[in-house]
Amino acid sequence: VIGAEALVRWQTADRGRVPPVEFIPIAEETGLIVEIGEWVLIEACRQTQLWNSDREGAPPLRVAVNVSPRQLHRGLLETQVRKALEISGLPPALLELELTESALIEDAEYVIATLGRIKALGVRMAIDDFGTGYSSFAYLRRFHIDTLKIDQSFVRDLLIDREDEAIVCAIVQMARSLGLSTLAEGVESAEISHALGMIECDFAQGYHFARPLPANEFAAFSKTSLQKV
């Protein structure tokens, strides 16, 4: 286990746990996502730094945080990232921001400049759900991207659909040529995990490894896997 992706959940007193599919679109629409995004960034960095204070010599964990297009385009992302790193004390190289292709396409020159300044802090950049949007190969470099997160729609049927297999192989090979890391999303079986290893995809995530976990359970999970290795 090299790290975790931060996922937000909303526990309410009267309605129990509200699923993110219900509140994230409303937060996006109202703009509240900018404040939620800042809170998530700070909490994710703080939590990861806490986990890393108790790793008994094992390599420190990284954390990936999803960034909303509004957070990026409102001009607050750089300030929010600096604040989260400062409050938490997390080394910038352990933070990876996940952006979608559609968030990058709009006002590209502005995004390139913003991401360049954040990148200069030492933070890593990933494209989330890679392969489903308008991928511009020419931009991969200019957007300062480190990691391609291969969308689960290509990973799910990797062993039964030859076209999906070809797409995943092509993404991994292209990424390697460009010096980028690859991570497969939505891995739900040992067979698919093994196949991804054979084509030298660098990292993977999904239910095969763990379902989304509360922070305290993740701490225990990340340690169990250390012992197994």
What's the sign of the alpha-carbon dihedral 148, 29, 9, 77? Answer: positive
Tokens 């599919």 appear where?
21
Task: Give CA–CA dist 135/66, Å, rounded.
Answer: 18
Give min distance, CB of 126 to Mn ion, in A: 8
**Whose Cβ is closer to Mn ion: residue 66's or residue 71's?**
66
**Whose Cβ is closer to Mn ion: residue 43's or residue 128's?**
128
Task: Give CA–CA dist 101/125, Å, rounded.
Answer: 12
Q: Which of 182, 184, 186, 160 is closest to 173 using CA atoms?
A: 182
Structure tokens at 222: 């990340």
Give min distance, CB of 100 to Mn ion, in A: 8
Q: CA 174 → CA 56, 147, 159, 185, distances in Å?
A: 36, 12, 20, 17
Q: CA 116 → CA 109, 133, 164, distances in Å?
A: 11, 22, 32
x/- track of binding to Mn ion for residues 40-79 (CB under 5 A): --------------------------x-------------
Task: Give CA–CA dist 121/84, Å, rounded.
Answer: 12
Residues binding Mn ion: number (CB under 5 A): 3
Q: Which of 96, 98, 101, 151 binds Mn ion (CB under 5 A)?
A: 98
**Whose Cβ is closer to Mn ion: residue 34's or residue 150's?**
150
- Cβ-in-10-Å burial (0-12, 13-18, 19+) of 162 comes to exposed
Residue 96 in the binding site for Mn ion (CB under 5 A): no
x/- track of binding to Mn ion for residues 124-143 (CB under 5 A): ----x---------------
Give min distance, CB of 66 to Mn ion, in A: 5
Give min distance, CB of 115 to Mn ion, in A: 16
**Whose Cβ is closer to Mn ion: residue 66's or residue 147's?**
66
x/- track of binding to Mn ion for residues 7-46 (CB under 5 A): ----------------------------------------
* Interface contacts to Mn ion, rule CB under 5 A: 66, 98, 128
